[in-house]
């Protein structure tokens, strides 16, 4: 099992902890504000969360802390999420 953890601030400037786990070919994503105990599990992660994770993963790959194959999987997940979004009319 591979676990990636990072943190960020939300629009209210609260510190949010994030966790992405890869086990048996399945990714799971979790988050929680610093002031709460329980993690929120995502069936389908929000696009913003997945984009944030891609940046974290890319930085780890550059430092040789994560396998390059994982970024291809995350890119495919991002493409799938973006294609499911409604198209904006011009």
Give pLDDT, residue 88: 65
Residue 23: the pLDDT is: 94
Q: Which residue has the tokens 């902890």?
A: 17
Q: State the pLDDT at residue 59.
A: 96
Q: Could you tell me where the DSSP H helices lie in 40-88?
A: 47-62, 69-84
For the chain, domain boundaries: 2-84
Closest CA to 43 of 31, 29, 25: 29
CB of 30 closer than 8 Å to CB of 41: yes
pLDDT of residue 56: 96
Q: CA 86, CA 68: separation in Å to the nearest integer?
A: 30
Q: Which residues of the chain have pLDDT under 70?
A: 88-90
């Amino acid at each position: 099992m591979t676990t990636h953890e990072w943190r960020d601030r939300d629009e209210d400037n609260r510190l949010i902890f994030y966790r992405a786990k890869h086990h048996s070919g399945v990714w799971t994503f979790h988050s929680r504000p610093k002031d709460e105990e329980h993690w929120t599990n995502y069936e389908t992660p929000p696009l913003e969360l997945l984009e944030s994770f891609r940046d974290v993963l890319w930085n780890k790959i550059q430092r040789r802390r994560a396998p390059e194959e994982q970024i291809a999987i995350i890119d495919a997940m991002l493409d799938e999420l973006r294609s499911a979004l409604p198209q904006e009319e011009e």
